[in-house]
Amino acid sequence: MKRTFLYLILVSLSGLGNFLFAEDGSRLWLRFSDVTVNEKLFSGVSGRTDVFAASEFAHAWSQMTGDELLTQKHIADNSLIFALAKDKVVRNMRLSTEMKKLGDEGFLIRTITYQNKKLTLVAANTDAGLLYGSFHLLRMIQTNTFSDQIKVVEKPAYDLRILNHWDNLNGTVERGYAGRSIWKWDELPAKLSPRYEAYARANASIGLNATVLNNVNATPDILTTEYIQKIKALASVFRPFNIKVFISINFASPKQLGRLPDADPMRPEVQKWWKEKVKEIYRAIPDFGGFLVKANSEGLPGPMDYGRTHVDGANMIADALKPYGGLLMWRAFVYEPGDDRAKLAYKEFIGFDGKFRDNVIIQVKNGPIDFQPREPFSPLFGAMKRTPVMPELQITQEYLGHSNHLVFLAPMWEEVLKSDTFAFGKGSTVAAVTDGTFVKTKTTAIAGVANIGDDINWTGHHFAQANWYAFGRQAWSHQITSKQIAEEWTSMTFDKSQQTTKSSIVNCQLSIVEILLSSHETCVNYMMPLGLHHIFAWDHHYGPEPWCDIPGARPDWLPKYYHNASKAGIGFDRTDKGSNAVSQYFSPLREQFNNIEACPEKYLLWFHHVPWSHKMKNGRTLWDELCYRYDSGVQQVREYQKLWDKLESEIDSQRFAEVQSRLRIQARDAVWWKNAILLYFQTYSQMPIPFDIERPVHELDDLKKIKLDMKHHN
Q: How far is the CB of 448 from ligand BDP (least distance, A)?
A: 12
Cα–Cα distance, 154 to 478 (Å, whole number): 12
Q: How far is the CB of 80 from ligand BDP (least distance, A)?
A: 55
Choosing from 9, 216, 610, 651, the residue that interacts with ligand BDP (CB under 6 A) is 216
In the complex with ligand BDP, the residue whose CB is nearer, 324 or 538, is 538
Q: How far is the CB of 143 from ligand BDP (least distance, A)?
A: 34
How big is the site for ligand BDP, counted in residues (CB under 6 A)?
10
Cα–Cα distance, 668 to 674 (Å, whole number): 10
In the complex with ligand BDP, the residue whose CB is nearer, 46 or 397, is 397
Which of 39, 98, 298, 358 is labelled catalytic? 298
Cα–Cα distance, 371 to 709 (Å, whole number): 23
In the complex with ligand BDP, the residue whose CB is nearer, 175 or 473, is 175
Annotated catalytic residue 358: no
Q: What DSSP line would sit under 37-52, residue for residue?
A: --S-EEEEEES-TT-H
Choose among 553, 606, 599, 603: nearest CA to 578. Answer: 606
Q: How far is the CB of 297 from ligand BDP (least distance, A)?
A: 6
Length of the chain: 714
Task: List b or e across 273-299, with b for residues whose CB sees 16 or more CB atoms inside 10 angstroms.
Answer: bbbebbeebbeebeebbbbbbbbbbee
- Helices 482-493 & 127-142, crossing angle to 10 degrees? 70
Cα–Cα distance, 87 to 191 (Å, whole number): 47
Choosing from 348, 398, 415, 455, the residue that interacts with ligand BDP (CB under 6 A) is 398
Q: Is 36 exposed, middle or buried (0-12, 13-18, 19+ CB in 10 A)?
A: middle
Which of 23, 167, 340, 398 is labelled catalytic? 398
Annotated catalytic residue 699: no
In the complex with ligand BDP, the residue whose CB is nearer, 333 or 463, is 333
What is the H or E stretch that residue 13 is in? Answer: strand 7-13
> Do the strands 210-212 and 160-164 form a parallel or antiparallel pair, or are they unpaired?
parallel
Q: How far is the CB of 185 from ligand BDP (least distance, A)?
A: 20
In a 13 Å sphere around the CA of 671, the CA atoms on its Cβ side amount to 12
Q: How far is the CB of 300 from ligand BDP (least distance, A)?
A: 8
Closest residue to bound ligand BDP by CB: 370
Q: How far is the CB of 331 from ligand BDP (least distance, A)?
A: 7
Strand partners, 544: 536
* Sign, CA torsion 16/19/22/27: negative
Q: What are the φ/ψ torsions at residue 689 (nearest 5 degrees)?
A: -75, 130
Q: How far is the CB of 174 from ligand BDP (least distance, A)?
A: 5
Cα–Cα distance, 575 to 664 (Å, whole number): 40
8 Å CB contact between 314 and 348: no
Choosing from 52, 371, 526, 593, the residue that interacts with ligand BDP (CB under 6 A) is 371
Annotated catalytic residue 549: no
Cα–Cα distance, 536 to 559 (Å, whole number): 7
Cα–Cα distance, 220 to 201 (Å, whole number): 30
Q: How far is the CB of 211 from ligand BDP (least distance, A)?
A: 17
Q: How far is the CB of 336 from ligand BDP (least distance, A)?
A: 14
Choosing from 110, 201, 294, 608, the residue that interacts with ligand BDP (CB under 6 A) is 294
Strand partners, 363: 331, 390
Cα–Cα distance, 419 to 434 (Å, whole number): 12
CA-based Rg of the chain, rounded to a whole angstrom? 26
Contact pattern from residue 602 through residue 641 relative to ligand BDP, giving x for each residue in contact according to CB under 6 A and a dash for the rest? ----------------------------------------
In the complex with ligand BDP, the residue whose CB is nearer, 228 or 292, is 292
Contacts of 419 (CB under 8 A, 6+ apart): 376, 377, 429, 430
Q: How far is the CB of 399 from ligand BDP (least distance, A)?
A: 8
Contact pattern from residue 328 through residue 347 relative to ligand BDP, giving x for each residue in contact according to CB under 6 A and a dash for the rest? -----x--------------
Cα–Cα distance, 36 to 64 (Å, whole number): 7
8 Å CB contact between 65 and 27: no
Cα–Cα distance, 65 to 169 (Å, whole number): 41
Q: How far is CA 264 from CA 237, 305, 355, in A?
A: 36, 8, 19
SS3 at position 624: helix
In the complex with ligand BDP, the residue whose CB is nearer, 398 or 495, is 398
In the complex with ligand BDP, the residue whose CB is nearer, 56 or 167, is 167
Write the DSSP symbol of residue 102.
T
Cα–Cα distance, 427 to 445 (Å, whole number): 20
Choosing from 31, 139, 175, 322, the residue that interacts with ligand BDP (CB under 6 A) is 175
Q: Is 477 exposed, middle or buried (0-12, 13-18, 19+ CB in 10 A)?
A: middle
Q: Where are the alpha helices (DSSP H) in 406-541?
A: 410-417, 430-434, 465-476, 482-493, 502-527
Which of 23, 264, 340, 370 is labelled catalytic? 370
8 Å CB contact between 44 and 71: yes
Q: What are the φ/ψ torsions at residue 126 (nearest 5 degrees)?
A: -140, 165
Interactions with ligand BDP, residue window 63-122 (CB under 6 A): none
In the complex with ligand BDP, the residue whose CB is nearer, 348 or 398, is 398
How many Cβ atoms from other residues are within 10 Å of residue 612's Cβ? 21
Is residue 217 at the binding interface for ligand BDP, with CB under 6 A as the rule?
Answer: yes
In the complex with ligand BDP, the residue whose CB is nearer, 37 or 523, is 523
Q: How far is the CB of 17 from ligand BDP (least distance, A)?
A: 43
Q: How far is the CB of 639 from ligand BDP (least distance, A)?
A: 30
Contacts of 600 (CB under 8 A, 6+ apart): 592
Interface residues with ligand BDP (CB under 6 A)? 174-175, 216-217, 294, 298, 333, 370-371, 398
Active-site amino acid positions: 298, 370, 398
